[in-house]
Structure 1
Amino acid sequence: MTGVGRAEAVLSPWNSRIVVDIRSVNHKFFELVPHLPGSLAGFEGEIRDIVRHSIRRGYVQLQVTMDENTDMPVLALDRRLVRDYMK
């Protein structure tokens, strides 16, 4: 039940970097503590659902950091792509 993970990517064409860190420890129930940048705060519920679909129980800390590029357009979460990635 204990685990750590890290992923980094560059979002093109804006050349912005995003880093996702996840840590989990054994816990009787599922509890997610997300730390998101302001630009992703509106997606917290969707992110919680996606993580919950892959992790049944445990205390999970999710840290997302990204270069805040002011030229970036509004982001839209592709739930299908995220689910496919989590499989």
Structure 2
Amino acid sequence: MTLCPDGPILVRGAARIVTGDGRAVARNRPTIALCRCGGSAIKPFCDGTHKVNGFTSDDPTPPSAREGGCGGICASEEPCDSLDKSPGPSPSAPG
């Protein structure tokens, strides 16, 4: 897992993601971005809204993230700056 500065949490590999009530969240990609700004229209996945809603994180920024280690991967695997902010797919069928 990688905390992206002022952005999502990237989860790489076979980690199982569950909701607060224990339901499994479908994963269709080996790397997913989870929203932590609270503004995503496709929660729990990131849709890039953190770039426009002013979200900032307090966590320390590791060198790999400062150098692009987060890769701008949001729900569409496109750089966050280029994402369409329309609601997009439902949380059960990301991206």
> TM-score under structure 2 normalisation?
0.28
Structure exhibiting the larger radius of gyration computed from Cα positions: 1
> TM-score under structure 1 normalisation?
0.30
